[in-house]
Amino acid sequence: MKTMKTFTTRPSDVNSEWHVFDATDEILGRLATKVSKLLQGKHRPLYAKNIITGDHVVIINAAKIRVTGKKLDQKIYYRHSNYPGALRQIPLSRMRQEQPDKVIRSAVKGMLPKTILGREMLGRLKIYAGESHPHGAQIKEFARPELQVFSDFVETEETRANTPESPVDQLDVETEETRANTPESPVDQLDVETEETRANTPESPVDQLDVETEETKEGK
Tell me the DSSP string of 78-116: EEE-SSTT-EEEEEHHHHHHH-HHHHHHHHHHTTS-SSH
Give residue 112's pLDDT.
97
3-state SS class at 205: helix
Instruction: Give kind and range of the element (H or E) at residue 59.
Output: strand 56-60
Give residue 63's pLDDT.
94
What does DSSP assign to residue 153?
Answer: H
What is the chain's mean pLDDT, rounded? 79
Give residue 79's pLDDT.
94
Model confidence at 147, pLDDT cuts 50, 70, 90, reads very low
Give residue 178's pLDDT.
59
- At 175, the amino acid letter reads T
User: Helices 116-123 and 100-109 sit at what angle, rounded to 10 degrees?
Assistant: 150
**Can you tell me the mean pLDDT for 130-142?**
78
Model confidence at 49, pLDDT cuts 50, 70, 90, reads very high
d(CA 208, CA 144): 91
pLDDT in tens, 96-110: 999 999 999 999 999
Give residue 195's pLDDT.
56
More confident residue, 220 or 180: 180
d(CA 125, CA 25): 19
Give residue 204's pLDDT.
57
d(CA 131, CA 152): 9
Closest CA to 109 of 50, 27, 36, 59: 36
Q: Looking at the predicted structure, is the pLDDT value of residue 150 above 60? A: no
Closest CA to 32 of 46, 218, 40, 141: 40
How, if at all, do strands 87-91 and 18-22 pair? unpaired
Give residue 219's pLDDT.
59
Model confidence at 155, pLDDT cuts 50, 70, 90, reads very low
**Domains, the chain, ordered by start:** 11-162 (3.90.1180.10), 167-215 (no CATH)
d(CA 24, CA 65): 6
Give residue 102's pLDDT.
96
Give residue 172's pLDDT.
56
Chain centroid to Cα 22, Å, comes to 19
Give residue 154's pLDDT.
43
